[in-house]
Amino acid sequence: MRRILILTLVLAPILLLGGSLTVTIPSGHAGLLFQTFGQGVDPEAKPMNSGFHFKAPWNKVYTYEIRQKERLEHLEVLSSNLLKIEMDVTVFYQPDVNSLALLEIERGKNFEQKVVVPAMRSVAREVIAKYLPEEFNTTRRDEIQKEIDERMREKLSENYLTLNDVLIRNIQLPRKLEEAIERKLQQEQESLEYEFRLEKASKEAARMRIEAEGIRDYQEIVSRGISKELLKWKGIEATSALANSPNSKVVVIGNAEDGLPLILGGN
């Protein structure tokens, strides 16, 4: 009985405090030890990795998810000419593990609402206010997204968070502005088409002019090279060819002005 009593006195506290002596941190998480009778969370303490750990029963362990998180916000911002623009902004971020103690001390677990969302709204308003709405439909869209990325990365870094990526989607401009942009683009296309037609007509005119000059030069060369003797010789050749033709014809000899046979008819 004495042995049983001693064993009970030893094991009872262990059994009662067993849950307070250990902690298991899930995968993808890290732990911060809070010392109840000490200074709380040590800002320079290294976070506890996932797995099984021992601790004093009067201390606590705060667990933080350190995996990448995603936050989507639908924002309404003003452009440089004070027109309202709606957009969806998505940020991918995660806590900086090496600064997890400072994040707990200065920002707390609700850092998404305290830091991430306000930073998204603030940065979007600051950046968009520099640009005109129509610039979102040009190559400057990449420039705008890059600037938002850089500003967000700086904001989150100041608050012990790491930004992985920023996406801007579903940009909605005022309806009247969209119609004006569409009309402008249509007019630009019509202008380009008109310029193309003018260029094509100009090239066709140049081609015809060159062709006409070639025909004129050919006629001049040919007219200088043709003589009466050549024409008479060609007439004799043609008459000889007709005379040898099997088709019937009527030939009057010597009636033409140049003495060549006169062809009256044939079939």
Tens of pLDDT, residues 37-50: 888 889 988 999 99
Secondary structure in 3-state letters for 45-74:
CCCECCEEEECCCCCEEEEEECCCEEEEEE
Cβ atoms 109, 200 nearer than 8 A: no
pLDDT in tens, 210-254: 888 888 877 777 666 666 666 666 667 767 776 666 665 555 555
The beta strands (E) that lie in 81-137 are given as: 84-95
Residue 68 to residue 76: CA distance in whole angstroms: 26
Cβ atoms 101, 43 nearer than 8 A: yes
Does any domain span residue 196? Answer: no
Mark whether 90 and 166 lie in a shared domain: yes
Give me the domain span that covers residue 245.
Answer: 228-266
User: What is the chain's Cα-based Rg?
Assistant: 47
Kindly report the pTM of this predicted structure. 0.61
Q: Report mean pLDDT in 10-residue bins for the chain, 267 residues.
A: 68 54 91 89 90 88 93 90 88 94 91 93 92 78 90 94 92 71 70 82 86 79 66 68 63 52 51
Mark whether 58 and 74 lie in a shared domain: no
3-state secondary structure of 93: strand
Give the number of domains in the chain. 3
Mark whether 75 and 172 lie in a shared domain: yes
Task: Tell me which of 178, 195, 211 is where a domain ends.
Answer: 178
Residue 205 to residue 216: CA distance in whole angstroms: 16
Residue 241 to residue 154: CA distance in whole angstroms: 98
Task: Tell me which of 65, 90, 120 is where a domain ends.
Answer: 65
Does any domain span residue 87? Answer: yes
